[in-house]
Structure 1
Amino acid sequence: MRGSRGKEHTTIIKRSSRKSHDAFHGGAWKVAFADFTLAMMALFMVLWIMGSVSEEERKEIVSQLNGESIFEGQSLSPITQPNGVGGKIAATEKRDRGDDKTKTPEEKRVASMKGESLDDVNKRSQQEIEDLARVIMKITSAYDAQSNLKMEIVPQGLRILVTDDQKREMFQRSSAILTPFFTRLLTEFAPALNKIDNKIVITGHTDATRFRDQDLYNNWNLSGERAMQARRVLTKAGLDPTKILQVSGMADQMLIDPANPLSSSNRRIEIMVLTHSASESLYQFFGQHGEKVIKPIIDRLSQKK
């Protein structure tokens, strides 16, 4: 008995641990399902929004998403001839303003405030801009400064370019100190600009001459300070400060004479008298007193409910 027990074999069963199917894959299928659900919800929202908004609102949304600029893709039609002599005022683009659905919120607001039809407001605004151009040209002729002034009526309003020439420098070289002649000229412009009910943008431009120490001082600093100096002269001469919507410097990024980057014509101050639509476009970027002109789409949909 003992011998037979000693010869007995003991069978040992070893069970290998198997990783569960869930442990191997983790929660990947759940993540994939959640992504699919989110995509379907997003598709549903897009379809719902497209069916809930008007064609005009869709265009506004696309415009915002594309980041369209009010100064891109527009041709310019000069008021002055190449030799600086005043010419016929011409607009390069006319908008159909007969349909109220095409009006911007600013145009509708201006019309409602003055009790006028939109057509009357638009015609009056266009006429005021053309009248302003004639007044500016008359002042320029009185100062014999036709070679220092160019004007263009563009879809965004009236563009006034005050430039250097070989006879007169607007600013002392490499500084933002305005010379007496151009101080008097801008002072004469102020009352005329104050009479029109439009916002104004002032921009400084330089030629391509570079400072030695670009970190210490460069054309961005110079163009910005020159624009600010022009603003100070205009407001001191009586221009309502609230009419000025923006003051900026563009250094040598927008040369009028790119073939001659050091040309005096590149050193200039630009005064842009904006149409109501153009100023409204700027509000779309920055908001008006914290409230954007184009309301968020969810707000619009909630209002319709």
Structure 2
Amino acid sequence: MSKGADKRPIVIRRKKVVHAHHGGAWKIALADFMTALMALFLVLWILSISSDEQRRGVAEYFSTPLVTAITGGDQSGSTRVIPGGGPDPTHSDGERARIDISQHTRPSLQERRFFTDLQARIESAIEQDPELRQLRSQMRFDLTREGLRIQLLDTDQRPMFELGSDQVAPYMRSLLRTMAPLLNELPNDLSISGHTDSVPYAGGYRGYSNWELSNDRANASRRELVAGGLDPDQLLRVSGFADRVLLPDATPIDPRNRRIELVVLLPEIADAIRNPSVLGPQDLVEDENSAIEALENMPQADIAQ
């Protein structure tokens, strides 16, 4: 055979591989997973920097029924910041609701938001003043059944008043006059109360005592607020409690008991102060019968104690 016959053509067959399209579902799943992780990290970060009061507000928000949330937390249809109401809760005939104080256990969600905003404005105004900034540790904000309570506490190093008198310290005067315009923006009434520690005067309670001192300091605070721009008509109650209402975390002689309490009152609380309910003869009979029934049902061992 010839050499040319041995040289056969070499045919190389290359199989063409076609990759099938598997879809991008895994990409969507990965994106969802990363988004969920980012949301989790943001929630954990916000919780770590938020205060106890802010966390309670968030919990209150998510525990609100859907209908109440949609209506803004007010079933009366009122457009006021503090929810009102009238004889018919579906109408806004009258902004002051007729509420049973015994059933009103705490401010509503909308009232909490309103008071939290007021607290933030007061704290911001104090933070902008280098002198007042040092007093922030002597202030306490909390919500009570009466409304937003602002406590101005004494310390031995920085007392709010001259020792044993109602002479307002200069920084206390500046603090009250800074707060006055912010409180004046509210339609709510204001209550002012003075408190002292349990250190008695030399003459006891027969002469000038802690009762007069606490009342005089409350009045001195009232004068400074009015001088700072507070509307006098918003002042509903000025009182002195001497040493009868001590701080829960303080001893009787703790200087922090020497304090001024400002309470931004809820509308229904202000109405109850202006118009205290009077018990009639029938109410007294029912109360007496209830007391007798309670005693009859009480175990004898408890009665002996």
Question: Is the structural similarity TM-score above 0.5?
Answer: yes
Aligned equivalents of 1:167 and 1:202: distance in 2?
24
Is the contact between residue 147 and residue 165 of structure 1 (CA under 8 Å) also seen in structure 2?
A: no
Distance change in 2, residues 1:219/1:199 (3 Å): same
Specify the alignment match of 2:244 in structure 1. 253
Specify the alignment match of 2:166 in structure 1. 176
Distance change in 2, residues 1:190/1:213 (3 Å): same
Aligned equivalents of 2:249 and 2:144: distance in 1?
21
Q: CA deviation digits over 1:95-119, x for unaligned, max 9?
A: 987666xxxxx933694457xxxxx
Specify the alignment match of 1:205 in structure 2. 195
Is the contact between residue 198 and residue 252 of structure 2 (CA under 8 Å) also seen in structure 1?
A: yes
For the pair 1:138 / 2:128, whether they are aligned, the reply is: no
For the pair 1:186 / 2:163, whether they are aligned, the reply is: no
Specify the alignment match of 2:234 in structure 1. 243
**TM-score in terms of structure 1 length:** 0.56
Specify the alignment match of 1:127 in structure 2. 113
SS at match of 2:159: coil
Distance change in 2, residues 1:86/1:185 (3 Å): farther
Q: CA deviation digits over 1:159-200, x for unaligned, max 9?
A: 000011232110000000000001000000000000111010
Aligned equivalents of 1:208 and 1:180: distance in 2?
25
Question: Could you tell me which amino acid in structure 2 is paired with residue 206 of structure 1?
Answer: T
Question: Could you tell me which amino acid in structure 1 is paired with residue 147 of structure 2?
Answer: G
SS at match of 1:88: helix
Distance change in 2, residues 1:295/1:264 (3 Å): closer
Aligned equivalents of 1:261 and 1:176: distance in 2?
20
Aligned equivalents of 1:235 and 1:194: distance in 2?
10
Unaligned runs of 5+ in 1: 1-84, 101-105, 115-121, 286-291, 299-305
Aligned equivalents of 1:171 and 1:257: distance in 2?
22
Structure number with higher relative contact order (C-alpha < 8 Å, ≥ 6 residues apart): 1
The one of 260, 273, 276 aligned to 1:269? 260
The number of residues matched between the two structures is 198
Cα RMSD, aligned residues only = 3.5
Specify the alignment match of 1:8 in structure 2. none
Is the contact between residue 156 and residue 255 of structure 2 (CA under 8 Å) also seen in structure 1?
A: yes
Is the contact between residue 164 and residue 170 of structure 1 (CA under 8 Å) also seen in structure 2?
A: yes
Is the contact between residue 128 and residue 196 of structure 1 (CA under 8 Å) also seen in structure 2?
A: no
Specify the alignment match of 1:151 in structure 2. 141
Q: Displaced runs of 4+ in structure 1, greater than 6 A?
A: 91-97, 294-298
Specify the alignment match of 2:273 in structure 1. 282
Q: CA deviation digits over 1:224-269, x for unaligned, max 9?
A: 0000000000011110001010000000001115652111110000
**TM-score in terms of structure 2 length:** 0.56
Specify the alignment match of 2:53 in structure 1. 88
Aligned equivalents of 1:231 and 1:264: distance in 2?
21
Report deviation, 1:281. Answer: 1.9
Aligned equivalents of 2:279 and 2:198: distance in 1?
41
Report deviation, 1:135. Answer: 1.2
